[in-house]
Structure 1
Amino acid sequence: MLHDLELLAPAGSMDVLRTVAEAGADAVYLGGKRFNMRMLRPEFNFSDEELARAVKYLHQEQKKIYVTVNNLYFQSELAELKDYLCRLADLQVDAFIVQDPGVAEICRENGLNIPLHASVQMGINNVQSALLLEKNGFSRVILTRHLSLQEIEAIHRESNIGIEHFIHGEMCISHCGQCLLSSLMSQESSNRGRCRKPCRWTYRMSGLEQGGSDEPQYYLAQKDLCLYPYLQQLITAGVSSFKIEGRMRSREQLAMIIGSYRRALDRLRDDPDNYQPLAQELKTLEENSIREFCSGSLFKVTDKGDIGLDGRREPAWNTSARKLTALGEMDFLTPAVEKLSSPARTELTVTVADLDGLQKMLMQEVDNIIITLDSMRQHQHKIELEKLKPILDAHREGQPKIFLETPRIVTQKDIKAVYRLKEWADSSGVDGFVVNDLGSLNILKSERWSLWTGSGLNVANSKSASFLQNQGVERITVSLEISAEEMKTLLAQQLPAEIIVQGPMTAMITDLCLIQTALDGSPDDCSQECMQAHPALLDEHGQAYKIFTDYRCRNYIYYPQERCLYPYLQWLAAWGAKSVRIEGQHYPPKLLTRVVYIYKQAVQESRAGLRINKEGFERLLQLFPNGLTGGRFSCQHDIKVIE
């Protein structure tokens, strides 16, 4: 195995590519001018002619070239994406690095036999996700940087897929693929290569019972990753490809970094029994880094020590929060009757977080109820499956249909809970599951119940939907990052699509306990502050990003405004939405009942071919004084487009 180790380097130009190859990289990853995760800096991407030269050069040097095709793609981009993939295949690149499973579907349909590597943005956290990808033609997974050594080893032991891991460079504090903060705040999506780095802004902490600093601090600014001291442990855990971050780094810096890791891996290969990391090499890496280093999640959960809280070594970013504008009465659009004359049978789905919410929704005549298993400590309730079973038995094969939603994040250490859920489901009356990761999907797929996807899988095009439908999924939750124009184009593909039309939007999920960070505490000395406090991060405009904590102590950071697509319900129905969903798990019972009543009336009016009443929208504006937003859906809307 030691002779099969790969040192994988980034390159943003031909000069850098030659430099890292000469410094000892076994393979190089890079992006073209389209469809990759560095779209804000096009000068660090390769033209088609440069790609051809890069392939020729690296293959002459007996090295490999991997091309990043790792964006989230919209329906309108698929035709051009297919042509681009075919051109790359003709160049004989050695692999595609992929975030959107729609790329795999395009490759399958067009007979492109290029190896597929699952991007870190795909959020591969557990062995079942790896097994599903392996079964669907992927040869390698780039694991997230939120796994321990033991979890990495388990994924390697229980699968045959290649394991790649980042060992050096900048880190995101958010779980991979689950950050919408840049997308919602600036309309520039981190999942589409245009992140504006809101995790590198300063925030103030509010709402803590025990005080804490009121000074602006860099609560989300994680230190850089450096795993130079732990290469031997990573090899033992099963990592075979060691990846350096930094396609925008200078050739000099990359030459130094690649050289240090090359020498270490060579010494490991030549004399593994006597290998020791060299203190001088580590010192050189530290002296040439802007930020301090951390070891990610290899040995512990991310904590305050992994954050550059004071910002002393944080580079300046020319981005900042914007003052948000909320929806108002003038945002209610009345569609032309002739445009929407055909009544549509759109279902209404409601998400709840406890048995009380379930009981209330059973009396509301909604079509589907989703019970989320991402219970939050602040609500001080947690679903007990044994208490749920009698309710399900009483409604077996009745209306509404009842689904359980798996957590947004399921790492290897969490996966046993999904297996237990499947065992419980075998004797329950549950109608189905809503899954947010590929691992939960792989475990729970069965002919005995329906499978839907949640927003965690971020589906934005029909090819991604087809990939999931081929795994047994019956209904797709559409990405929150889609504009009205893209939504119309997507729904024209006649997908079984559900649209989230109301509720708080999770902007980021992180393992970091922000409360303990603010209180200068350690994770081992938990104050349980989250059980009574109402914490929030405040940006420079005083806009509050509420923080909720689940029972695994993960933090969920919410956008200041709630999503509301009530003004657009009639268009969604006319375009073919199968169902619309209210995310009501954070609403008190009285508020949830009011919101559901408003939407239920609107859905009934739509089914009857009537115009939706503006009064419902006015009531929603009154119920949510902190502001409602259409988010990405309405920020680009144009009447001529969406009609």
Structure 2
Amino acid sequence: MIHVIELLAPVGSKEALAAAVESGADAVYLGGKMFGARHYAPNFTDEELAAAVRFAHMRGVMVYITVNTLTDDSELPALADYLRHLYQLGVDAIIVQDLGVAVIARDIVPALPLHASTQMTVHNLAGVQFLAAMGFTRVVLARELTLTDIEYICKNSSVAIETFIHGALCISYSGQCLMSSMIGGRSGNRGRCAQPCRLPYTLVGADGNDLLQAAGAGEYLLSPKDFNTIEVLPDLMQAGVTSFKIEGRMKRPEYVAVVVDAYRRALDSYLADRNNYVVSTQDRKDLAQIFNRDFTTAHLYGKNGRNMMSDRRPNNRGVRVGRVLSYQAAGKITVIKLDEPLAVGDIIEFWVKVGGRVNVTVQTMTVNGAAVTEAPANTAVSIPVSSPVRDNDRVFKVFDAKLMERARTYFSRAEAVRRIPVDIVVAAEEGKPMVITVRDADGFSGRAATVFIAEKARKRPLTPASVAKQMERLGTTVFRLNQLECQLQGEVMVPLSEMNDARRRAIEQLEAAGLARFARPALPNGSSIAALLPPLQTTGRANKPELVVNVDAVDKLQAAVDNGADIVMFGGECLGKHALSAEDYHNAADYARRHNRKIIFNTPRLVHQNQLAELKASAVLFNRLKPYAVSAGNIGTLQLLRELVDAPLHGDYPLNIYNSVTAGYLSARGLASLTLSPELSFAQVEAITARKLAPTECLVHGYVTLMISEYCLPGSFLGDTAGQCKQACLRGQYWLKDRMNELFPITTDQFCRMHVLNAKELSMLPHVPRLMRTGLSRLRFEAKYNTVREIEHITRMYRELLDQGENHPLLLQDKVSGVEHGHITRGHFFRGVL
């Protein structure tokens, strides 16, 4: 299969844009000041966006704008204006996470292509099909997919498929991480991730002791290595990937230049000769030198466990350049035996056995007593250091002055590097204006004539050489002269100023012709945001929501039913790794029905291609048992369940339902009920429930999952020395302890995925009366991590509070908080998220 291969580069600043374009990117992605998932990058003002689009388009480079955050109802008018602005700028696509944003874009700017962000957690073909039907033209797959799954999706997809190929990795599935928002109020889904995965943690057991002290593990237990696929690019190309995406909008422009440059050469090598793919040693070194936490191919070839993690260092580790031979304390001089070249201006770091790291900028160095500015490999060099180091300490270069200087040439020079060759025809004859025609390889052209009428030359007639001298003066334009044809009739003269002016105008015409290919028709008269919002409720909903309890075992279901749950959710991911049998589902459904309770069967929020048979078998069982509803937490699962089950469908909170347009879209698509995002505040919830929608619910109690990951920490570090799991998860309970001594429960499900739960239990017990006034149809207790006894107690408390409302004795005496333990959170109901 032949593909149009696109190298897609990250851009967080004007300098990074120049670096990306000039080092060989086919397309760039960048963000404005709003609605982008890298809020802390410099990003672009509206004026800078316009200039960026022109800069890229002049060089034939596509521009995609990130509009990939969850958007609140109050932000939707500004979003609509922003989308119109992007359309008028001529951007080539927008990258979207929020289904509501996609709905608005389809209506307001229907000709603007939609790309699905990796934040949509698309990990199977069904998810791609869901988005294709919605109008998306490209899908960025989740980074947890194997090469086999990527190939299957590519070969069966009707839209383009994009994958990441280099850069930082998230340890949690993107779009499914609540850790930053829950512990710090900064939502990764809103572009403000605080990167808690790069912080130090300790793995502890029930006794509180460090379980990894003897395992030689570092502190950064959630910090992955950087993704690097340059050696395996042919596999991704043959799989059918269309766009190859580099991560790094927060990175400096030098990083962008070096990484894009290396991958440009790699892609071109493959396209030139598929049987002789070559990656140079220098490109490998440059990629490591510019930034690395060590490298991994992540999940492309299966789970890597501990080998995927950079547990000893969460930031750039540089490239090893040698070891310490000796240290002279008197003059603070160390001698290093080099494995790699070293030069003045480089920054090196000593990994000291005692005391951590010693960082030194090389200002002077000597070899055999003679001062040098650079030294090759296999040389012993002496340099002054600021702190003591020890013999045999490893030395790493974390800044290579020469590499950085070379990288800067891609964006620091006024003249363009990647010039477009043009052919110029100059025609002149006595009595007529000189005509200059400029044409590029794509067939675009510009033409201009001099005002001056060519005269017979008295002294110096025009020659091909003198004309060429003026035509080559293309200055800082993006063009360079490829071929010149001079059609000079007789001995004629035209002033140089006239020639230069005509050349300039012809070039301007050529530029306009090239940019015209990116032009779009005028905007249609799209609907207003008010028209896209679901209509307001004309009558209030019942103020007594149903109580929902979500469990993963029959005895827990019985405890919930016996203590007042109106609805029980059952199944999906089972924490503790046990899997439910068909008999468990039968027993659960039978017990709920005998007690006149509704039952919703859960499905896993993640269903990879190799797990579809299991989902289909579950669907057959569900159709026999006829539950009240079946729940889906991912658009791919939702797409599949529409075809597989007869029961009504429930949309769960991993769908990230954050605004009324998303809720309205899913309601209109037939979902019978919806769980709103746990990142919403009271006010935001009330704005959504004021609309005519399917019944809505919120999580009000339980240990909420903050991360879900294919990487299992206990299995990776507590298995055997070969990295085999040995099912450590079945041998005890585990917690991550952070710097504040908070304990985050770690558990695994039947698919060997790790769940990191919140250290604090969500509890809204004192605020049930207010929840009853929000218009919510249901309140949900996430009880999978709770014991049967806890489920009995908590369910009974909510039942009583819902039944008695403000008249409950504990509320009347202001003593509800007295029945809570001391380690609870109110989530985002009062504080919202940034």
Match of 1:295 in 2: 297
Q: Is the 8 A contact 1:75 1:486 kept in 2?
A: yes
Deviations 1:316-368 (A, max 9, x none): 9xxxxxxxxxxxxxxxxxxxxxxxx9961311111111122223333344321
Match of 2:287 in 1: 285
Match of 2:667 among 447, 469, 477: 469
Q: Is the 8 A contact 1:303 1:523 kept in 2?
A: no
Match of 1:514 in 2: 713
Deviations 1:589-643 (A, max 9, x none): 222111111101111124xx75784279846654534x11102222369xxxxxx
Match of 2:123 in 1: 125
Q: Is the 8 A contact 2:766 2:816 kept in 1?
A: no
Question: What letter corresponds to residue 518 of structure 1 in structure 2?
Answer: F
In the alignment, the residues of structure 2 paired with residue 252 and residue 430 of structure 1 have an alpha-carbon distance, to the nearest angstrom, of 57
Structure with higher RCO (Cα < 8 A, 6+ apart): 1
For residues 563-582 of structure 1, the aligned pairs below 5 Å read 563-582=762-781
In the alignment, the residues of structure 2 paired with residue 550 and residue 207 of structure 1 have an alpha-carbon distance, to the nearest angstrom, of 18
- Give 1:303 deviation, angstroms: 1.1
Match of 1:596 in 2: 795
Match of 2:20 in 1: 20
Match of 1:525 among 724, 740, 757: 724
- Give 1:50 deviation, angstroms: 1.3
Match of 1:449 among 617, 624, 647: 647
In the alignment, the residues of structure 1 paired with residue 25 and residue 164 of structure 2 have an alpha-carbon distance, to the nearest angstrom, of 14
Q: Is the 8 A contact 1:504 1:583 kept in 2?
A: yes
Match of 1:184 among 147, 161, 182: 182
Higher helix share: 1
Match of 1:479 in 2: 677
Secondary structure, in 3 states, of the residue corresponding to 1:525? coil
- Give 1:400 deviation, angstroms: 1.6
In the alignment, the residues of structure 2 paired with residue 308 and residue 156 of structure 1 have an alpha-carbon distance, to the nearest angstrom, of 31
Q: 1:420 to 1:279 in 2, by over 3 A?
A: farther
Q: 1:304 to 1:490 in 2, by over 3 A?
A: same
Match of 2:761 in 1: 562
In the alignment, the residues of structure 2 paired with residue 404 and residue 35 of structure 1 have an alpha-carbon distance, to the nearest angstrom, of 35
In the alignment, the residues of structure 2 paired with residue 373 and residue 453 of structure 1 have an alpha-carbon distance, to the nearest angstrom, of 13
Match of 1:545 in 2: 744
For residues 63-462 of structure 1, the aligned pairs below 5 Å read 63-207=61-205, 211-213=211-213, 217-311=219-313, 313-314=315-316, 344-377=543-576, 381-389=578-586, 392=589, 399-445=596-642, 448-462=646-660
Q: Is the 8 A contact 1:23 1:259 kept in 2?
A: yes
Task: Give the TM-score, by structure 1 length.
Answer: 0.89
Match of 2:29 in 1: 29
Q: 1:509 to 1:102 in 2, by over 3 A?
A: same
Q: 1:616 to 1:539 in 2, by over 3 A?
A: farther
Q: Is the 8 A contact 1:208 1:529 kept in 2?
A: no
- How many residue pairs get matched? 606
Match of 1:624 in 2: 821
Q: Is the 8 A contact 1:35 1:71 kept in 2?
A: yes
Identity of aligned residues (%): 34
In the alignment, the residues of structure 1 paired with residue 206 and residue 310 of structure 2 have an alpha-carbon distance, to the nearest angstrom, of 21
Q: Is the 8 A contact 1:89 1:112 kept in 2?
A: no
Q: 1:616 to 1:270 in 2, by over 3 A?
A: farther
In the alignment, the residues of structure 1 paired with residue 598 and residue 256 of structure 2 have an alpha-carbon distance, to the nearest angstrom, of 55
Q: 1:301 to 1:102 in 2, by over 3 A?
A: same
In the alignment, the residues of structure 2 paired with residue 91 and residue 623 of structure 1 have an alpha-carbon distance, to the nearest angstrom, of 55
Match of 1:338 in 2: none
Secondary structure, in 3 states, of the residue corresponding to 1:125? coil
Greater displacement, 16-25 / 227-236: 16-25
Secondary structure, in 3 states, of the residue corresponding to 2:175? coil
Greater displacement, 480-489 / 173-182: 480-489
Deviations 1:215-272 (A, max 9, x none): 8610011111111011100011111100111113222221121111111111211211
RMSD of equivalent CA atoms: 2.6
Matched, 1:499 2:726: no
Q: 1:62 to 1:343 in 2, by over 3 A?
A: closer
Matched, 1:634 2:632: no
Deviations 1:359-415 (A, max 9, x none): 33333443211003211236xx43212342255367669832111111132222223
In the alignment, the residues of structure 2 paired with residue 195 and residue 51 of structure 1 have an alpha-carbon distance, to the nearest angstrom, of 23
In the alignment, the residues of structure 1 paired with residue 715 and residue 626 of structure 2 have an alpha-carbon distance, to the nearest angstrom, of 40
- Give 1:416 deviation, angstroms: 2.5
Q: Is the 8 A contact 1:342 1:574 kept in 2?
A: no
Question: What letter corresponds to residue 290 of structure 2 in structure 1?
Answer: N
Task: Give the TM-score, by structure 2 length.
Answer: 0.69
Q: Is the 8 A contact 2:3 2:240 kept in 1?
A: no
Q: Is the 8 A contact 1:445 1:472 kept in 2?
A: no
Q: 1:484 to 1:251 in 2, by over 3 A?
A: same
Secondary structure, in 3 states, of the residue corresponding to 1:155? helix
In the alignment, the residues of structure 2 paired with residue 480 and residue 356 of structure 1 have an alpha-carbon distance, to the nearest angstrom, of 27
Ranges in structure 2 where 5+ consecutive residues have no aligned partner:
319-539
Deviations 1:81-120 (A, max 9, x none): 1111121122221111011111111123335221111101
In the alignment, the residues of structure 2 paired with residue 312 and residue 136 of structure 1 have an alpha-carbon distance, to the nearest angstrom, of 39
In the alignment, the residues of structure 2 paired with residue 211 and residue 198 of structure 1 have an alpha-carbon distance, to the nearest angstrom, of 21
Question: What letter corresponds to residue 212 of structure 2 in structure 1?
Answer: G
- Give 1:573 deviation, angstroms: 1.9
- Give 1:290 deviation, angstroms: 3.7
In the alignment, the residues of structure 2 paired with residue 110 and residue 398 of structure 1 have an alpha-carbon distance, to the nearest angstrom, of 50
Secondary structure, in 3 states, of the residue corresponding to 1:374? coil
- Give 1:519 deviation, angstroms: 2.9
Q: Is the 8 A contact 1:76 1:489 kept in 2?
A: no
Question: What letter corresponds to residue 38 of structure 2 in structure 1?
Answer: R
Look at both structures and tell me which one has the larger radius of gyration over its CA atoms: 2
- Give 1:276 deviation, angstroms: 3.2
Question: What letter corresponds to residue 525 of structure 1 in structure 2?
Answer: Q
- Give 1:161 deviation, angstroms: 1.7
Secondary structure, in 3 states, of the residue corresponding to 1:65? strand
Secondary structure, in 3 states, of the residue corresponding to 1:482? coil
In the alignment, the residues of structure 1 paired with residue 542 and residue 575 of structure 2 have an alpha-carbon distance, to the nearest angstrom, of 39
For residues 30-49 of structure 1, the aligned pairs below 5 Å read 30-41=30-41, 44-49=42-47
Q: Is the 8 A contact 1:125 1:143 kept in 2?
A: yes
Greater displacement, 450-459 / 97-106: 450-459
Deviations 1:13-71 (A, max 9, x none): 23321221121111110000101011123xx2111111112222222222211000000
In the alignment, the residues of structure 2 paired with residue 596 and residue 611 of structure 1 have an alpha-carbon distance, to the nearest angstrom, of 15
Q: 1:571 to 1:547 in 2, by over 3 A?
A: same
Q: 1:193 to 1:419 in 2, by over 3 A?
A: same
In the alignment, the residues of structure 2 paired with residue 192 and residue 631 of structure 1 have an alpha-carbon distance, to the nearest angstrom, of 16
Q: 1:387 to 1:536 in 2, by over 3 A?
A: closer
In the alignment, the residues of structure 1 paired with residue 288 and residue 828 of structure 2 have an alpha-carbon distance, to the nearest angstrom, of 40
Match of 1:605 in 2: 804
Greater displacement, 482-491 / 596-605: 482-491
Question: What letter corresponds to residue 620 of structure 2 in structure 1?
Answer: E
Q: Is the 8 A contact 2:706 2:755 kept in 1?
A: yes
Secondary structure, in 3 states, of the residue corresponding to 1:370? strand
Q: Is the 8 A contact 1:505 1:562 kept in 2?
A: yes
